[in-house]
Amino acid sequence: MRKKIVAGNWKMNLNLEEGISLAMSVDKYFKDKPLQKSSVILCTPFIHLPGVATVIKNGKVGLGAQNCASEPSGAFTGEISAAMIKSTGAEYVIVGHSERRSYYHEYDKLLNKKTTIALAEGLSVIFCCGEVREEREEKKHFDVVKRQMEAGLFSLTGKEMNKIIIAYEPVWAIGTGLTATPDQAQEMHGYIRGLLKIKYGNSVAEEMTILYGGSCKPSNAVELFSKPDVDGGLIGGASLKKEDFVAIAEAF
Ligand code: PEP
C-alpha cells in the first residue's frame, strides 16, 4: 500500500526552544490518533534534530533534516554528513529543495551524490523536483522534471527507490501563496509515476509516495490530496503553526 505522508519543512525558522515546543505539541496532538508510523514527518534545522528526537516519543511523528553533505566525512568545514544526521535519531533528509538548487547552485549531479550517500547511511530521501515559472510558461515543465528525476534518481536500483519519497514542488508556488491547481498537481504526479513505471516497472511506480509542495494550507489540502496520484504534502510556511500543520495532516 502506498504510504500517505505530510512532511513539514521548517526551513531556517524557529530557535531551539521554539522548535522543541512546536515538535512537542505536534507529537502530543497525534498521540492518540490512529496514525501509521512516520506519516507525519518534521524536517527541522540541523541543530534541532537531537532535541526534537527526544520529544517525539510516540513513534508516530518522524524526523528529518533539510540537507546533507555530498561527502561521507572529512575536511569539509561547516558541512553536516548523512551519518551525523542519522546519529541524531533522524530517518529522513530532504535533497534537492528548490531553495538549495537556486541559492546554493546545487545541480543534478551533486544531488544524485547526496541522495546516494544518504541512502548508504540508512536515511530515506525526500527528493524534490519542480519547474520555475518561466519553464511552465514555456511549457517545459515536463522536460525539466524528467531531467531532474533522471539525473537525480535514475542511477538508483529499484530496491533503493523504496527509500525515496518524491516531492513535486513547482517553484512558482513555493512561499508565494500561489498553489498549483489540484488538476495541475495531478497531471505532474501522474507524469512522474509514468516515468517511474517506464524505468522501474509497475511495483516501484505504484508504491512511490509523491508529495505535493507549494503553498499548501488547510483550505486547499483536502482538494489537492483527493487526487489519485497526490500522496500528501511537503509543507513549508504552514508547518510552523501547529494548528495549520495538523489540519493539513487531518486532510487525508
Ligand atoms: C517548501 O518549502 O517545501 C514549501 C512547500 O513551502 P511553502 O509551503 O511555504 O510554499
pLDDT digits (tens, 9 = 90+) for 150-163: 999 999 999 999 99
More confident residue, 178 or 134: 134
Ligand 1 centroid–CA 217 distance in Å is 10
pLDDT mean across residues, the chain: 96
Mean pLDDT to the nearest integer, 11-26: 98
- What's the confidence (pLDDT) of residue 65? 98
- What's the confidence (pLDDT) of residue 34? 81
Mean pLDDT to the nearest integer, 207-235: 96
* Top mutation candidate among 178, 216, 248 for ligand 1, by most atoms within 8 Å of CB: 216
Q: Is 0.95 surpassed by the pTM of this model? A: yes
Burial of 198 (0-12, 13-18, 19+ CB in 10 A): exposed
Give how far the C-alpha of residue 172 lies from the chain's centroid of Cα atoms, to the nearest Å: 17
Give how far the C-alpha of residue 16 lies from the chain's centroid of Cα atoms, to the nearest Å: 22
Kind and range of the H or E element at 217? none
- Angle (CA) 239-85-237 rounded to 5° is 15
Asked whether residue 38 carries a pLDDT value surpassing 90, the answer given is no
Asked whether residue 32 carries a pLDDT value surpassing 90, the answer given is no
- What's the confidence (pLDDT) of residue 181? 96
Asked whether residue 10 carries a pLDDT value surpassing 80, the answer given is yes
Asked whether residue 47 carries a pLDDT value surpassing 90, the answer given is yes
Q: Are 96 and 152 in contact (CB under 8 A)?
A: yes
- What's the confidence (pLDDT) of residue 4? 95
Asked whether residue 57 carries a pLDDT value surpassing 90, the answer given is no
72 lines ligand 1 (CB under 6 A): no
Mean pLDDT to the nearest integer, 238-243: 97
